[in-house]
Amino acid sequence: MQQEPIISVKNVDVFYGNHHVIKNVSLDIFPNEVVALIGPSGCGKSTFLRLLNRMNDFIESFRMNGQIYIENKNIYTRHVQVEKLRKNVGMVFQKPNPFPKSVYENVVYGLRIQGIKDKKYMDGIVESMLQRVGLWNEVKDKLHQSALALSGGQQQRLCIARTLAVEPSIVLMDEPTSSLDPISTATIEELIFELKQHYTIVIVTHNMQQARRVSNKTAFFYMGELIEYDDTINLFTNPKVDLTHKYITGKFG
Amino acid sequence: MIPVTSKFKNNRLKDKIFRWYGFLCTLTGVILLFIFLYSILAEGLDRLNFQFFTSLPSRKPSDAGILVALIGTLWIMILTTIIVVPIGLASAIYLEEYGKKNKFAAFIEINISNLAGVPSIIYGLLALEIFVRIMGLGRSLLSGALTLSLLILPIVIVATREALKSVPNSIREASYALGATKWETMWNAVLPSAAGGIFTGIILAISRAIGETAPLVVIGAMLYITTIPTHPLDDFSVLPVQIYNWLSRPQKGFIENATAAIIVLLGITFLMNSVAIYLRNKWQSKVKW
C-alpha cells in the first residue's frame, strides 16, 4: 500500500549569503514515520529541519530554491500563513527552553496565542498532554510553580507537551537529548516511540545509536548533500554508499 | 635558582599592595557618603516634623514647609512615568526587535548613548524653547515632566534594550515555533521575561529625574509658590528647586530647612533605588536561563 507523503521535499537548495548549505535535496516522509537526520556537524541537517517549519526565515541572508510540500501544500509561497504552518509543524529544540512561567502556562501558551480562554478546556489539555509525555504524575502538584524549577529532562518533556498542545501533525526535534543525562535521554526516546502513533516525527541527532533506536528511516547528510536515505535497518546494516558506511562505523565524523 | 623565587615574592608584594590600595579607594567613597549623611542628619533631622511636611513656603523659616514642593515632585514623578514609559519601551522594542541591524541602526544607537551624556541644563534650554514657548505650555508641571522625560528617555531606552538583549533567543524561537507572531512573541514571552530589567531601568531613571534641578530652573519652576498644583498645567516647584532656593537665603533657619528637605529627597531616592534592587534580585532568582 503506497500512501501519500506528508512531507515532500523537491530539489531544495539553501544559501546563507554565498554559502551553499543544502544542495539539491529531495526526500519524502510518510505519515507516522520517525525519520532521523544524521551527519557530521555543519552538514546541513539542522538547517534542513528548520526548513520544514520555516524557522530559517529569521536569518537575513537565507535564500532557498525548490519546493517543500506539507500535506500537499507548498509551504514556501506568499499565501502561506507561517503561524498556521508552525502550529501544524511543531518543534522541540536542542536545549530545553521553557518560558519563565508556570508549568501550566507553558503548556497552554500556544492555546492562549490562539485566543482560547475556556479554562476547562485548557485544564483538560494540560492534563492530557502532560500524561502523554509522562510528566503528569511528577508535576501534577506543582502545575502553578515555575517550569524553570524542573530538571532538564522534565523541562524537555514539558517542551514536548507544549508543542503537542497545539495539535500539530508533524513534530520536528533538533537534537532533543543532546543536553540531557542518559536516563532522561532514555525517557525521551521511549516517548518518541509512543508519539509516532499520533505524529510524524523528524529528528536530528548526533547519536547514531539513538537514530537506530527511535527511527524507521534515516537520512545521512554530508556537506549539504543527502547522501543516503533508507530504512534505518538497511542504512545501518547494509549502507549502499561508501561514505555512509564510513560515517556509521566511525571512520570520520 | 634564586631569581625565580624572588620574582614570585615580588609579585606577591604587588598583589598585597594593590589589595590595600583598592580597599582604601573603595573606602573613600563610602566614608565620604557617611560624612555627608551624618552632617545632613545632624543638622536637619530636628526640623523634620509634621508641620514641615504640611506647610506652604513662608518668609519665616520656622513656618515654612515642603508641601508644595513635595506634591510637585510626586506630580512630576507620575507625569514623567506616564510620558516616558510608552515612548521609551516602544523605541527600545523597535530598535532591538524590529529594526534591521544596519549602519543606520548603529548610528541611532551611538546617538542615543550620546544623548544620555548631554548635560541636563541643555535639555532645559531645548525644553524652554519647544515646550514653554512654541507649544505654549508655560512654566507648568507638564512642561517640567516633558523636559525630564526627554532627559531620561535615553536611559530608559538603553536599559530596556539591555533587558531585551538578555532574553535568550531560544525563548523567542520557542514562541515562534508554537505559531506566535512577532507581536505575540513580544507581549507574551519576551517582555514578561525582560520585565525585571525594564522596571529596574525605569525606576532608576525616574529617581534620577526627581533629583534634577537645572533644567527645571531653566524652564521656570517656581522658586517661591504658595499654591498646591492640582492640574498638569499649574505652576509648580519640586524638592530640589526648593532646596536650591532655601540654600541661597542668608538666614540660618532656611539652611536648616534645606537640609531637612535634602533628607526627604534622599529618602525618596533611596526608597526607589531599593525597590529597583529588590525587583532585580527577585527577577534574577525567578528567571535563570
Task: Decide if A8 is inside a domain.
Answer: no
The three-state secondary structure class of A81 is coil
Whole-angstrom CA distances from B52 to A13, A39, A217, B222, B230 are 77, 77, 82, 19, 20
* CA-angle at B185, arms to B180 and B191, nearest 5°: 160
- Nearest C-alpha in A relative to B181: A83
Mean pLDDT of chain A: 93
ipTM of the complex: 0.93
Mean pLDDT of B15-36: 91
Contact B193, B288 (CB under 8 A): no
B145: which 3 cell numbers?
515632566
Task: Decide if A191 is inside a domain.
Answer: yes
- φ and ψ of A172, to 5 deg: -100, 135
CA distance B282 to chain A (A): 13
* Length of chain A measured in residues: 253
d(CA B6, CA B106): 51
Q: Which residue has the higher pLDDT, A158 or B250?
A: A158
Task: Decide if A118 is inside a domain.
Answer: yes
What does the pLDDT look like over B118-138, one tens digit per residue? 999 999 999 999 998 899 888
Task: Give the mutation candidate from A59, A97, A166 for the B interface (greatest B CB count, under 10 A).
Answer: A97
Mean pLDDT of chain B: 89
pLDDT reading at B216 higher than 60: yes
pLDDT reading at A45 higher than 70: yes
pLDDT of residue B243: 92
Whole-angstrom CA distances from B12 to B3, B16, B20, B26, B96 are 14, 6, 13, 21, 46
Task: Decide if A5 is inside a domain.
Answer: no
pLDDT of residue B44: 87
Asked if the Cβ–Cβ distance from B170 to A93 is below 8 Å, we say yes
Contacts of B40 (CB under 8 A, 6+ apart): B259, B262, B263, B266
- Nearest C-alpha in A relative to B98: A58
The neighbouring-strand residues paired with A203 are A36, A173
Mean pLDDT of B209-232: 84
B18: which 3 cell numbers?
594593590
Asked if the Cβ–Cβ distance from A99 to B184 is below 8 Å, we say no
Contact B188, B175 (CB under 8 A): yes
d(CA B98, CA B185): 12
Task: Give the mutation candidate from B100, B169, B178 for the A interface (greatest A CB count, under 10 A).
Answer: B178
pLDDT of residue B234: 85
CA distance A209 to chain B (A): 27
Contacts of A195 (CB under 8 A, 6+ apart): A132, A160, A164, A171, A201
CA Rg value for chain A: 18
d(CA B86, CA B229): 25
Q: Which residue has the higher pLDDT, A206 or B289?
A: A206
Determine the structural domain holding residue A126 and report its residue range.
30-60+81-248
Task: Decide if A107 is inside a domain.
Answer: yes
Q: What proportion of chain A, given as a percentage, has pLDDT over 70?
A: 99
pLDDT reading at B98 higher than 90: no
Of A240, A207, A244, A194, the C-alpha closest to A34 is: A194
Whole-angstrom CA distances from A98 to B100, B103, B175 are 27, 34, 10
Residue A91, burial from CB neighbour count under 10 angstroms (0-12, 13-18, 19+): buried
Q: Which residue has the higher pLDDT, A200 or B59?
A: A200
Strands A62-70 and A34-38: what pairing? unpaired
Overall domain count for chain A: 1
Ramachandran class of A153: left when φ > 0, alpha when ψ lies in -120 to 50, beta otherwise: alpha
Q: What proportion of chain B, given as a percentage, has pLDDT over 90?
A: 54
Contact B186, B93 (CB under 8 A): yes
CA distance B155 to chain A (A): 26
d(CA A173, CA A162): 13
Asked if the Cβ–Cβ distance from B179 to A146 is below 8 Å, we say no
pLDDT of residue A1: 47
pLDDT reading at B289 higher than 70: no
pLDDT reading at B226 higher than 50: yes
pLDDT of residue A2: 62
d(CA A117, CA A136): 22
pLDDT of residue B221: 75
The three-state secondary structure class of B132 is helix
* CA-angle at A92, arms to A87 and A233, nearest 5°: 110
What does the pLDDT look like over B148-207, one tens digit per residue? 999 999 999 999 999 999 999 999 999 999 999 999 999 999 999 899 899 999 999 999
What does the pLDDT look like over A73-89, one tens digit per residue? 999 998 899 999 999 99
Question: DSSP states of A104-156 as a string?
Answer: HHHHHHHHHHTT---HHHHHHHHHHHHHHTT-HHHHTT-TTSBGGGS-HHHHH
Residue of A91, A97, A100 with shortest CB distance to B287: A100
Contact A108, A126 (CB under 8 A): yes
CA distance A250 to chain B (A): 31
Task: Decide if A14 is inside a domain.
Answer: no
The three-state secondary structure class of A22 is strand
Contact B153, B173 (CB under 8 A): no
Asked if the Cβ–Cβ distance from B170 to A95 is below 8 Å, we say yes
The CATH number linked to A175 is 3.40.50.300
pLDDT of residue B101: 77
pLDDT reading at A31 higher than 50: yes
